Homo-oligomer: A and B are copies of this chain.
Amino acid sequence: MTGKILIVDDVATNRIVLKTRISAALHEVSLAVDGQSALDMVRQDRPDAILLDLHLPDIPGLEVLARLRADPASRDIPVIVHSAAATPDQRLAALRAGADDVLPKPADDRLLLARLRALLRRHDPEAREALALDGLEDAGAPFDWPGLVTLTAMDEDAARRLDRRLAPHLSHRLVLRDRETLLGAETGRGAQGPGTPDGFVIDGATDPANALVLLSELRSDSLSRHSGIAVLIGDPRLAAFAYDLGADEAIPPDTPPAETAARIDALVRRARAATQRRAALHDHARLALTDPLTGLSNRRHALRRLGELSARSVSTGQGLTVLLADLDRFKRVNDSYGHAAGDAVLAEVAARLRAEMSAGDLLARIGGEEFLIVLSAPLAEGEARARRLCAAVGDSPVPLPDGRTISVTLSVGLSYAPPGSLPDTVIAQADHALLGAKTLGRNRVKVG
């Protein structure tokens, strides 16, 4: 399914021409003849993008745009302002009011369609939906603190000239970077540290082919994959290409510096909002899976994973060894040393257990002082590893926050699950074995 596009224009021939061109790309097109009906249709029908004329019979186009942007329900819908004769000031006003682009009327066909594709691609309803509850969608917060934007031209003099023209208009610090430095080892690998640019501008005026290669390189680089990237490029056909290669903005080189700067500012703002959304998504995902004190998997997650591992053991034919491990007499730690000490012990024990794990093992905190460990290993190996876990916990005392130390020990109940075992049965067996280990005097491994 391609997009639902709303065309707002009071001139019938304009609407028909645009509709024909946009329908050719198999988008679903709806039409509005004035500002009020546009606002009504947006509310009812939530289009994926809007093409908005500035000259409407009832409400001025800029006012329609401002109302769309003020309403959380339409704040994120991409809007392209198309205007037969917008002055530089009108173009700037539209961009500042939240237009995603201002295109002349008639716009180059390929460019218009590629621009629409880029806007539709940026709009990711799936991720937005997952975070809708988070309210990040309607935060509309201004992410306008001064950042760092790099400017790369294919020759140095051009870069300097451009820098002098743009810098006075930009909210961000503009620094010149050649391709080598940009893609090279300057910033720490993967670390989005203070040296990481907030946006990238590639000057493709003199050498568009190499500018497009650099664009592709930045898009595959882990550091700039999700960054805002603008390409200065004149030829509409190449600008269309730039959009399909992942540019956020393709700006003609003869654009007034104030407008270019406004577009770059918007680019940084959007990329920052998207970064924030992505970070929230990842944080929440981690949160839902983790025990906050130890950073280990939590109970819910561990039981689900055990179910998956059991199911998989049927196809691999390899059984699992399941361990339930419990700190001995842990209540005494809390009672004698306080809860802060208890928490410190749990965190340290978790760290020692984790250090004993290999890739593919499952380690989780499933109760107050109880841990579940699942190893893709046969029984004898599982038993040996369980003894190592006891040693790792019991062999050296645990330091407390107040500087004292305390010795703790671990009891482990162990159960081997042949392929196809039911998780509940295996856990019950391990639990029974754990009880045996406790009864036999603690600090030991018992096989169930």
Contact = CB atoms under 8 A, between A and B. Distances in A.
Interface of A: 1-3, 25-26, 28, 48, 71-73, 114, 116-118, 120-121, 124-127, 129-131, 133-135, 138-142, 179-180, 183-185, 187-190, 216-217, 219-223, 225, 244-245, 278, 280-290, 297, 301, 305, 308-309, 312, 315, 359-360, 362
29 contacts: A1-B185, A1-B187, A1-B189, A25-B183, A26-B180, A26-B183, A48-B222, A72-B359, A72-B360, A116-B220, A120-B220, A120-B221, A126-B222, A126-B278, A126-B282, A129-B282, A131-B285, A133-B286, A133-B297, A133-B301, A139-B308, A141-B308, A142-B315, A219-B244, A280-B285, A281-B281, A284-B285, A284-B288, A285-B288
A120 B124 CA distance: 21
A226 to B, nearest CB: 8
A142 B311 CA distance: 12
A241 B244 CA distance: 10
A290 B125 CA distance: 19
A223 B284 contact: no
A289 B1 contact: no
A71 B142 CA distance: 45
A13 to B, nearest CB: 26
Contacts of A120: 220-222
Contacts of A3: 220-222
Contacts of A179: 26
A289 B134 contact: yes
A190 B130 contact: no
Contacts of A308: 135, 139, 141
Pick from A117, A140, A223 the residue with the most CB of B within 10 Å.
A117
Contact of A216 (B134, B220, B244, B312): B244
Given A1-B222, A185-B1, A278-B126, A217 B284 contact: no
Pick from A130, A133, A179 the residue with the most CB of B within 10 Å.
A133
Contacts of A125: 190, 222
B217 A184 contact: no
Given A133-B301, A222-B125, A312-B141, A117 B217 contact: yes
A204 to B, nearest CB: 15
A349 B112 CA distance: 48
Pick from A188, A189, A283 the residue with the most CB of B within 10 Å.
A189
Pick from A116, A140, A244, A312 the residue with the most CB of B within 10 Å.
A244
A135 B305 contact: yes
A102 B117 CA distance: 32
A195 B290 CA distance: 36
A220 B183 CA distance: 27
Contact of A2 (B129, B221, B360): B221
